Amino acid sequence: RHRSPTFSREEVKALFNIVDKYKTIIFNKSTTSAACRAREVAWMKIAKTFNRQGISHVRSADCLKIKWDNMKKRARMAMSKNLMDLSHNEFDETTSQMVAMMCEVENNTGNVEDPVESSEDLNVSENENHKESNDRPWNGNEDKDSNDSSTDGANERFVSRSINFSPDECNLLLQCVRQEKNIVFSKTNTASFNKMKNRAWERFSNMRKMVKSSNIKNYFKEFAKKSHSLEDSGSKIKSEPLFECRSSMDADNDSDLDDQMDADNKSSNSDVNTTLDPLSTVLNTDIGLNSISEFENKEILKRKRIENLIQADAAERESKARETALKLRAARLEAIAAEMKFPSAHPALSYTAEETRAQHYLHQYHTS
Instruction: Concatenate the DSSP letters of all residues of 225-272 into one string.
Output: HHHHHHHHH-PPPPPPPP-----HHHHHHHHHHHHHHHHHHHHHHHHH
Instruction: For residue 272, name the pLDDT band (cuts at 50, 70, 90).
Output: very low
Digit-coded pLDDT (tens) for 296-325: 578 888 888 899 999 999 999 988 888 888
Give the global pTM: 0.32
121 DSSP assignment: -
* Distance separating alpha carbons of residues 12 and 143, to the nearest angstrom: 29
What pLDDT is stored for residue 296 in this prediction? 57
Cα–Cα separations (whole angstroms), residue 107 to 114, 129, 148, 269, 342: 19, 16, 6, 78, 139
Q: Which of 346, 343, 339, 345 is nearest to 366 (CA)?
A: 339
| Length of the chain counted residue by residue | 368
Beta carbons within 10 angstroms of residue 304's beta carbon = 12
Is residue 274 predicted with pLDDT exceeding 60?
no
Contact predicate 40/122, CB 8 Å: no
Helical residues (DSSP H) of the chain, grouped into ranges: 9-19, 23-26, 33-51, 61-79, 93-106, 126-132, 167-179, 181-184, 191-214, 216-233, 248-275, 278-287, 298-341, 356-367
The maximal CA–CA distance of the chain, rounded, in angstroms, is 165
111 DSSP assignment: E
Strand partners, 136: 112
Highest mean pLDDT among 70-74, 86-90, 260-264, 341-345: 70-74
295 DSSP assignment: T
Is residue 212 predicted with pLDDT exceeding 70?
no
Counting Cα atoms < 13 Å in the Cβ hemisphere of 132 gives 12
* Distance separating alpha carbons of residues 58 and 5, to the nearest angstrom: 10
Mean pLDDT of the chain: 68
* Distance separating alpha carbons of residues 194 and 180, to the nearest angstrom: 13
Contact predicate 200/184, CB 8 Å: yes
- Give the pLDDT mean for 133-143: 38
* Distance separating alpha carbons of residues 121 and 176, to the nearest angstrom: 55
| Selected residue with higher pLDDT from 88 and 72 | 72
Highest mean pLDDT among 4-13, 88-97, 100-109: 4-13
* Distance separating alpha carbons of residues 40 and 122, to the nearest angstrom: 12
| Selected residue with higher pLDDT from 346 and 11 | 11
What pLDDT is stored for residue 285 in this prediction? 56
| Selected residue with higher pLDDT from 114 and 186 | 186
* Distance separating alpha carbons of residues 85 and 72, to the nearest angstrom: 17
Helical axes 33-51 vs 9-19, angle rounded to 10°:
140
Highest mean pLDDT among 55-64, 101-110, 282-291, 336-345: 55-64
Residue 158's φ and ψ, nearest 5 degrees, are -100, 145
115 DSSP assignment: P
What pLDDT is stored for residue 284 in this prediction? 59
* DSSP-derived pairing of the beta strands 136-137 and 111-112: antiparallel
Contact predicate 154/79, CB 8 Å: no
* Distance separating alpha carbons of residues 197 and 223, to the nearest angstrom: 39
